[in-house]
Structure 1
Amino acid sequence: MGEEEGIDYNVVFPEPRLSEKYWRGSKEPVVILLGWAGCRDKHLTKYSSIYNSQGCVTVRYTAPLKTVFISESFGYKDLRSIAHKLLEILFDYEVENNPIFFHVFSNGGFMLYRYMVELLQSHKQFSSLCVVGTVVDSAPGSQNVRGALRALKTTLGPNVNVVLRCFLLVLFAVMVVLLRVVLYPLTKYFHKNHYDAMMESPAPWPQMYLYSRADRVIRYRDVERMVRVLQEKGLSAESFDFITPAHVSLFRDCPEDYSSRCHTFLTSCMTRREETQSTKRFQVQH
């Protein structure tokens, strides 16, 4: 477990024999897992094991609840500074030359991912990092107030005082409706929501969206629309509907299928990277 200027994260390095087995002397991928709001590290560990078993380095992090539900809703970009610190970790552990791969959960992870994508595309220090792909689980959603309330209610849990829980939910609902729906035609000029931002300036690397039409927090139509827009822009975007699982329960309900899809997608992203590098080397030689 590490701490970078106040943010708690976990980094796991694989056994050398596993890295050699799967990546045959190439630098193993560094998989950055960004948890959903309220996600505990023990939950994220189960997902990181999918990649650790394949000889990957993993970095696990979940943004604080207040940052996801309050700061973002009010237009404060606290997540941007967190995104900056997380990318700096790659340099601290000297893996900045390894292929980078993201695995992002729900809107809580996707909001943070949005700022990391922006930094990767605009910040001089991070422009040298090589991202090969992203898996997005149960995200992104757009202006779904009912879904956001369900997410907050689940995150608060039954131990929070009933009166306090009701007060927080009402306050959050009013705030979101006012700032992110009613006034959004004005507020978007100084703080665009994560969905619109990522649709207008998407990540250029391959992406795979895993979702469920039974999800009551993220509307499946929002996910499908995002994939469709990315494809129309000529980007590599694929998706799979698990149909029945609840929000962020795809892996829990379908562990083998989920793991297999993640493994296959990561391998295809790495193969694509190798082919691109081979083409560049050939062009330089000739």
Structure 2
Amino acid sequence: MSADEIDYNIVFPDAGTSERHWQGTKEPVVILLGWAGCKDKHLSKYSSIYNEQGCVTIRYTAPLKTVFISESFGYKELSSTALKLLEILYDYEVENSPVFFHVFSNGGFMLYRYVVELLHSDKQFSSLCVVGAVVDSAPGSGNIRGALRALAATLGPKISPLLRYVLLALFAVSVFLLRVVLYPLTKFIHKNHYDAVQDGPPAWPHLHLYSRADLVIRYRDVEQFMEAVKKKGVSVDGYDFASSSHVCHFRDFPEQYTRKCRVFLAACMKDLEGVEKVKKRQHLQKSK
């Protein structure tokens, strides 16, 4: 499948910026997965956090229908999207670079779930070197009211009030039946993103940025998820911005948000350097 079939944006830094920040090592490739309804002009503001650090960035946001309809009804359209997304690394010959994710809300996390599964199971992608992930305002689980708020926000003000009401009502009833009432049965066919990643978490470090003021994703869901994967040996850190609303932490606290992302990326890259040094030392010892 060609990666050209999905609408993404890729930005390469100039060589001088990369050399200044990474000093001869391969610059990271940061993959940003937008929230449902996210416009690229908004996502590009986040990618600048990494572009200014000499990173390659890939921006992608899954279509609304895929996030709100396909996933809700158990259709795994995002699985093929995840495949195409990872193929971009090979198309641009950056598959040997360190890979870092920045994931937004449940819309981005639903896609991230399938990326993680591919990295676990696919022979080709298992060789990719993922160093870490920032997760902004996610993941949430079983919050129908929050999902309705998210859908209402993405529909926008241009849609007629009657159509808005009908769409929200249908969505609420469907999700309540499939993802709450019948979920003890349907989860054997299709787990939700929250449970899937919690049950099979990736090994790389995660930084969760969230807020107890978020009305879409409950902060308790984020904290419970962090505790669950931490018990499975995953390095997890989190920061509660306390007052910012859903996916608005960067808007309300730009300097603090930027600093946390860059410090975390630098720490992940430093950990990678340590692992590579150990591997080289072991290789030298074996060759003697």
How much is the aligned-residue C-alpha RMSD, in angstroms?
0.7
Amino acid at match of 1:209: H
What pairs up with 1:48-197 in 2 under 5 angstroms? Answer: 48-197=47-196
- The TM-score normalised by the length of structure 1 is 0.98
- State the TM-score, normalizing by the size of structure 2: 0.98
Q: Distance in 1 between matches of 2:66 and 2:144?
A: 17
Distance between the aligned counterparts of 2:5 and 2:262, measured in 1? 32
- Rounded Cα–Cα distance in structure 2 between residues aligned with 1:277 and 1:102: 20
Offset, 1:216: 0.0
CA distance in 1, matches of 2:77, 2:27: 31
Partners in 2 of 1:219 and 1:168 — Cα distance? 23
Residue 205 (1) aligns with residue 235 (2): no
Deviation at residue 125 of structure 1 after TM alignment: 1.2
* Offset from partner CA, 1:28-79 (integer Å, 9 cap, x none): 0000000000000000000000000000000000000000000000000000
- The worse-fitting range, judged by mean Cα deviation, of 4-13 and 240-249 is 4-13
In 2: Cα distance, 1:266 partner to 1:227 partner: 19
Matched to 1:116, the amino acid is V
The equivalent residue for 1:228 is 227
Match of 1:22 in 2: 21
- How many residue pairs were aligned? 284
CA distance in 2, matches of 1:244, 1:44: 21
CA distance in 2, matches of 1:145, 1:167: 16
Aligned equivalents of 2:4, 2:281: Cα separation in 1: 43
* Structure 1 gap ranges (5+): none
Deviation of the 1:234 alpha carbon: 1.8
Note the C-alpha offset of 1:5.
4.2
Q: Which deviates more, 47-56 or 233-242? A: 233-242
The amino acid that maps onto 2:166 is: F
AA partner of residue 277 (structure 2): S
Q: Give the superposition deviation at 1:246.
A: 0.4
Per-residue displacement from partner, 1:87-137 (whole Å, max 9, x unpaired)?
000000000000000000000000000000000010111011000000000
